[in-house]
C-alpha cells in the first residue's frame, strides 16, 4: 500500500487512500449517467444501444486508468457530450451518412488528434494561454456545470417568453433537487468531509423511500456484446471519400481539440496543479485522452475526452491519479450492475454540479478585472459557456476578442503568436460549425 501511496505522491499532494477513494466514487456517481445517455444519443443513429453501453464503459475505464497511471491526474475520461449529438443528429440523420461511416470519421479524427498531441501542438496551446484566460476557462466551466445542474434538477427550465425561467415546484423530482442542494450547502458550510457525496447518497435514499426514484427490479445484468461496433470505424475508413465527410472529420477534430483541452485546463486549475502558468505532466494527460479517443472509436463510441464532472471528485479532495483509477474500476463494475445506476437520477447529481460550479467560480477572483482589455474576453468566455451550452464555443468567444482588446489597449506585443493564430482558427471554427 505504501508503494502505491508513494507512486501517486499522496504525502506531497496532501491526500490519502480514503480521500482518493471517496473522490473517485463521487466523480463516478456524478458522471455515471453517461453510460445511459451516450447509448440513447448514439442509438438514434441506428447503433445498437447495448454495444454502445459496453463500448462506453470499457473506453471510459481504459481512459481513466491511462490518465491515472500515466499523468497522475484526478481527471476521468468518458464520451464527450454534445459531440455525440452532432454524430447522430447532424451527421447520420441530417447528412444521411451511415453510422458506420460516421464512426470511421471519429477514428480518422482521433488519429489526427493523436498526431497533434505527439507533436506537442496541444501542449504548446495550453502553455500559450494567458493566466487570466486559464482562470476564466475554469470559472466558465463552473458556470456551465452549475447551469447544467440547475436545468437537470428542474430548478431552471426553458421558457418561450423569457428564454429561461424558474422551474415548477409542483414537480416532485424538483423537490428532491432542492433537498439535496440545501443539505449539501449546509454540510459544505459546516466543512463536513465528503459533503457532496453524502448529499448525493441522502438524495438517493430519500428518492427511493418516497418513490420519486423507482426501485430497480433487478440489480445485476449481463454485459452486452460489442460485436456490432467493434473495429467498424477502422474497416469503414475507405468510406470517407467526399469533401462533406472530410468536413465532418475536421469538425470532430476541432470540437474535441478545444472542448477537451479547455476542460483539462479548467480541471487542472481547480485541482491546484497549475504552477507559474504551467501544468506539470500536461503532455502525458493530453496523450491519455487522445489515445482513449482512438480506443473508443475502435470499440464503437463517439469522441472521448476529459470529463467535466471530474470537478466533483476534485471538490471533495481528489488530487492524484488514484482518483481516476477508482473511477475506472467503477466503470468496469458498472457494466455488470447497470440496473443499480438507474437510481442515480439527474436530481441526485444536480446539487453536486451546482456546488462544484460555486467552487470553480472561485478562480474568477484571480482575473485582473480592473483591466478592461482582459476583463472583456474573460467575461465573454465565462458567460459564453453556459449560454451557448458549449465549453468550446465559450472559449472561442474569449480567444477571438482577447487579441483585439489587447491591440486596442496598445498591448498587442504582450499577445503571443500562438494566441493570434488561435483567434484565426476559432473564427474558422465558428463559421464551420454555424453555417446552416
pLDDT at position 338 is: 62
State the pLDDT confidence band at 275, using cuts at 50, 70 and 90: confident
| Average pLDDT over every residue of 288-293 | 88
Q: From CA 25, how far away is CA 349, in angstroms rounded? A: 13
pLDDT at position 48 is: 87
Q: From CA 23, how far away is CA 27, in angstroms rounded? A: 6
DSSP string of 376-424, one letter each residue:
HHHHHHHHHHHHHT-HHHHHHHHHHHHHHHHHHTT-GGGS-HHHHHHHH
State the pLDDT confidence band at 149, using cuts at 50, 70 and 90: confident
Q: From CA 251, how far away is CA 243, in angstroms rounded? A: 12
Q: From CA 230, how far away is CA 236, in angstroms rounded? A: 11
Instruction: Give the other-Cβ count within 10 Å of 135's Cβ.
Output: 24
State the DSSP H helix or E strand holding residue 288, giving kind and residue range, or none if neither.
helix 282-299
State the pLDDT confidence band at 393, using cuts at 50, 70 and 90: confident
When mean pLDDT is compared over 66-80, 326-340, 422-436, the highest value belongs to 66-80
State the pLDDT confidence band at 2, using cuts at 50, 70 and 90: confident
Task: Check whether 376 has a pLDDT greater than 60.
Answer: yes
pLDDT at position 378 is: 95
| Average pLDDT over every residue of 231-242 | 86
pLDDT at position 374 is: 95
State the pLDDT confidence band at 193, using cuts at 50, 70 and 90: low
Catalogue the long-range contacts made by 372-375 (C-beta closer than 8 Å, 24 or more residues apart). 372/405, 372/409, 373/405, 373/406, 373/408, 373/409, 373/411, 374/130, 374/132, 374/402, 374/405, 374/406
pLDDT at position 198 is: 83
pLDDT at position 206 is: 93
Grid cell at residue 141: 466551466
Averaged pLDDT of the chain = 84
pLDDT of 29-71, one tens digit each? 877 778 877 887 788 788 888 888 899 999 999 999 999 999 8
Better pLDDT: 338 or 88? 88
pLDDT of 332-348, one tens digit each? 988 877 666 677 777 88
Q: How far is CA 26 from CA 18, 63, 74, 154, 212, in A?
A: 12, 17, 12, 21, 22
Task: Check whether 280 has a pLDDT greater than 70.
Answer: yes
pLDDT at position 175 is: 93
Q: What's the CA dihedral at 260, 433, 250, 229 to 10 degrees?
A: 70
- What are the boundaries of each domain within the chain? 2-367
pLDDT-above-90 percentage for the chain: 24
Q: What's the CA dihedral at 422, 423, 426, 427 to 10 degrees?
A: -150
pLDDT at position 76 is: 92
Task: Check whether 435 has a pLDDT greater than 70.
Answer: no
pLDDT of 101-121, one tens digit each? 989 999 998 898 888 888 888
Q: Residue 72, SS3?
A: coil
State the pLDDT confidence band at 257, using cuts at 50, 70 and 90: confident
State the pLDDT confidence band at 286, using cuts at 50, 70 and 90: confident
State the pLDDT confidence band at 178, using cuts at 50, 70 and 90: very high
DSSP string of 82-104, one letter each residue:
THHHIIIIIIIIIS---HHHHHH
Better pLDDT: 31 or 186? 186
The residues with which 422 forms a beta bridge, in sequence order, are none
Q: From CA 317, how far away is CA 387, in angstroms rounded? A: 29
pLDDT at position 103 is: 92
pLDDT at position 40 is: 75
| Average pLDDT over every residue of 285-310 | 88
Task: Check whether 196 has a pLDDT greater than 70.
Answer: yes
Q: Which residues contact 218 (CB under 8 A, 6 or more apart)?
A: 339
pLDDT at position 436 is: 55
Task: Check whether 400 has a pLDDT greater than 70.
Answer: yes
Check: CB of residue 312 under 8 Å from CB of residue 26.
yes
State the DSSP H helix or E strand holding residue 434, giving kind and residue range, or none if neither.
none
Q: From CA 272, how far away is CA 265, in angstroms rounded? A: 11
pLDDT at position 316 is: 83
pLDDT at position 188 is: 86
Q: What's the CA dihedral at 337, 154, 212, 194 to 10 degrees?
A: 60
Grid cell at residue 279: 501544468
Query: How many residues are listed for the chain in this entry?
Result: 436
Residue 273 backbone dihedrals phi, psi, to 5 degrees: -90, -15
Q: Give the 3-state DSSP-derived string for 154-215, with helices as H, strands as E and coil as C.
A: CCEEEECCCEEEECCCCCHHHHHHHHHHHHHHHHHHCCCCCHHHHHHHHHHHHHHHHCCCCC
Degrees, nearest 5: CA angle 237-241-243: 125
Instruction: Give the other-Cβ count within 10 Å of 185's Cβ.
Output: 16
- Longest CA–CA span in the chain (Å) reads 66
| Average pLDDT over every residue of 413-418 | 89
Amino acid at each position: 500500500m505504501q508503494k502505491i501511496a508513494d507512486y501517486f505522491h499522496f504525502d506531497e499532494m496532501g491526500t490519502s487512500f480514503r480521500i482518493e477513494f471517496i473522490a473517485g466514487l463521487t466523480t463516478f456517481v456524478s458522471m455515471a449517467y453517461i453510460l445511459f445517455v451516450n447509448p440513447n444519443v448514439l442509438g438514434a443513429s441506428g447503433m445498437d444501444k447495448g454495444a454502445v453501453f459496453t463500448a462506453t464503459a470499457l473506453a471510459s475505464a481504459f481512459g481513466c486508468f491511462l490518465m491515472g497511471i500515466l499523468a497522475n491526474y484526478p481527471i476521468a475520461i468518458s464520451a464527450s457530450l454534445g459531440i455525440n449529438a452532432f454524430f447522430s443528429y447532424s451527421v447520420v440523420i441530417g447528412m444521411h451518412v451511415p453510422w458506420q461511416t460516421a464512426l470511421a470519421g471519429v477514428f480518422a479524427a482521433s488519429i489526427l488528434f493523436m498526431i497533434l498531441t505527439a507533436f506537442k501542438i496541444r501542449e504548446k496551446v495550453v502553455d500559450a494561454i494567458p493566466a487570466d484566460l486559464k482562470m476564466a476557462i475554469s470559472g466558465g466551466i463552473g458556470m456551465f456545470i452549475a447551469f447544467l445542474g440547475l436545468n437537470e434538477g428542474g430548478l431552471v427550465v426553458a421558457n418561450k417568453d423569457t428564454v429561461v425561467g424558474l422551474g415548477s415546484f409542483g414537480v416532485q423530482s424538483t423537490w428532491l433537487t432542492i433537498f439535496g442542494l440545501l443539505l449539501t450547502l449546509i454540510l459544505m458550510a459546516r466543512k463536513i468531509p465528503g459533503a457532496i457525496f453524502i448529499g448525493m447518497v441522502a438524495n438517493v435514499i430519500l428518492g427511493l423511500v418516497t418513490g420519486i426514484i423507482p426501485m430497480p427490479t433487478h440489480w445485476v445484468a449481463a454485459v452486452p456484446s460489442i460485436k456490432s461496433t467493434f473495429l467498424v470505424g477502422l474497416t469503414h475508413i475507405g468510406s470517407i471519400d467526399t469533401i462533406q465527410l472530410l468536413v465532418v472529420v475536421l469538425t470532430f477534430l476541432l470540437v474535441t481539440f478545444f472542448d477537451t483541452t479547455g476542460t483539462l485546463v479548467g480541471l487542472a486549475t481547480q485541482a491546484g496543479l497549475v504552477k507559474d502558468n504551467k501544468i506539470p505532466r500536461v503532455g502525458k494527460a493530453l496523450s491519455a485522452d487522445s489515445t482513449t479517443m482512438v480506443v473508443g472509436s475502435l470499440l464503437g463510441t463517439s469522441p472521448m475526452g476529459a470529463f467535466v464532472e471530474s470537478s466533483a471528485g476534485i471538490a471533495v479532495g481528489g488530487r492524484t491519479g488514484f482518483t481516476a483509477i477508482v473511477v475506472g474500476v467503477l466503470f468496469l463494475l458498472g457494466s455488470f450492475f447497470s440496473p443499480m445506476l438507474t437510481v442515480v437520477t439527474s436530481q441526485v447529481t444536480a446539487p453536486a454540479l451546482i456546488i462544484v460550479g460555486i467552487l470553480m467560480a472561485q478562480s474568477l477572483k484571480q482575473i485582473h478585472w480592473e483591466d478592461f482589455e482582459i476583463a472583456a474576453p474573460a467575461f465573454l468566455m465565462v458567460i459564453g459557456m453556459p449560454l451557448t451550452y458549449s465549453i468550446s464555443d465559450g472559449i472561442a468567444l474569449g480567444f477571438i476578442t482577447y487579441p483585439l482588446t489587447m491591440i486596442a489597449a496598445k498591448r498587442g506585443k504582450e499577445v503571443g503568436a500562438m494566441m493570434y493564430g488561435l483567434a484565426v482558427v476559432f473564427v474558422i471554427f465558428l463559421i464551420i460549425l454555424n453555417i446552416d
